[in-house]
Structure 1
Amino acid sequence: MLKNQEFINSFRYSFLLIESLYGNGQFKTPSLQAALKSNQEFRNIVELAIKDMIPAKNDRNSDTAKLISTKPNADDIINHLVEKRGFYFHGNIKRKDAWNPDEQDSAESLALLAIGIITKLL
């Protein structure tokens, strides 16, 4: 998916794996964030992924790219992943800021971050 620049689907599938392994069946934003934050194994993986993050080629201005540039901690990344999961899984045409499948570049950093996390799971 990354090769084809399908960054949105790459993130979505990566997050499904993260959620299934570490989400403890939670799906509401606060509960899911708490479940992920309370798992020390997952926190360690997130910290490693932050350190090993490869900068995106076409994405310097997305909220993910900006977050990465601030040297975030695991809690910051977990909050961001869960928020973006809500955005990309629950979008609709009535939202003024709904995502568009033709605007993949804005999800490149997010996809690279999520891939960086799941590759450390395996």
Structure 2
Amino acid sequence: MGNEIGTVGDTYSYPDSFNIIGIRDGVVVKIRGRIIEDILALQDYTYDNLPLINARGFGIRVSTKEEFEQLMEERNRKLNITTDVEFSNQWFSLDQYKHIKFNEDVYTIEYNI
């Protein structure tokens, strides 16, 4: 704890304060002012109106305590291979904090140059 993290890069831009939710691992990392403030069990976390980001850097579509409770209820019911896609499509936003930047590797793969 106390380490500073980068919040802006070529393919991402996060707020200075947010929470990283490791849904599968059941862990929350609190980032405040770009500093890791705390790491706690998901069961001990209380929604605090700050943006939520999953462990892969995708935005989590939650903006109220009620939505967070619904997310956790669905996580507890649906976290398995057959419903993971449905769960992810409902709750995660790929482009909220991340964006794709084209480079030579993308063109080589896509167009077989």
Higher strand share: 2
TM superposition score normalised by structure 2: 0.31
Higher relative contact order (CA 8 A, sep 6+): 1
